Amino acid sequence: MRRQVTCKTSVERLLLGKVYVKTYIKGSQTLVTVCDTNLIGKTLREGRVKLEVTSKFYGEQLATTEETVEALLKADTGNIVGKNAVKVAVENKLVDPAAVIYIAGVPHVQFVRL
């Protein structure tokens, strides 16, 4: 019996480990949104919670880990969704792992810097 091997396309390999980052500035306040590339266009539901992951909100600008950390360090508020995105924030001590919630099995965290 042959084992089927699934190969990732070159686009998927290019996106591996990258996330979308978008920065909003209003007055002196900065909001940074970060999400995994594979989540754009999906709606996550769990109980009464519904999270629509749109490119309009989370952006279409790909960022490396370093660029993501740099953007989040400048943020007053952050909205982060996805395994890779949340991992970057937790590993760089930008959010407390205890603050992470899961919506349909996908990690999500928000923060406000006071």
Can you tell me which residue has the tokens 């205890």? Answer: 98
pLDDT for the residue 35? 98
CATH code of the domain in which 88 resides: 3.30.1860.10
β-strands 77-81, 29-36 pairing: parallel
Six-digit token string for 39: 């989540």
Q: Quick check: is 69 in a domain?
A: yes
- Tell me the one-letter amino acid at 69: V
Domain count, the chain: 1
Q: Quick check: is 1 in a domain?
A: no
pLDDT for the residue 107? 98
Q: Quick check: is 6 in a domain?
A: no
Q: Quick check: is 8 in a domain?
A: no
Q: Quick check: is 13 in a domain?
A: no
Domain ranges, residue 102: 19-112
Q: Quick check: is 108 in a domain?
A: yes
The single-letter DSSP state of residue 95 is S
pLDDT for the residue 16? 55
| Cβ 80 vs Cβ 44: under 8 Å | no
Low-confidence ranges of the chain (pLDDT < 70): 1-17
pLDDT for the residue 40? 96
pLDDT for the residue 10? 46
pLDDT for the residue 9? 46
Residue 34, burial from CB neighbour count under 10 angstroms (0-12, 13-18, 19+)? buried
Q: Quick check: is 83 in a domain?
A: yes
pLDDT for the residue 18? 84
Q: Quick check: is 7 in a domain?
A: no
pLDDT for the residue 36? 97
Q: Give the pTM.
A: 0.85
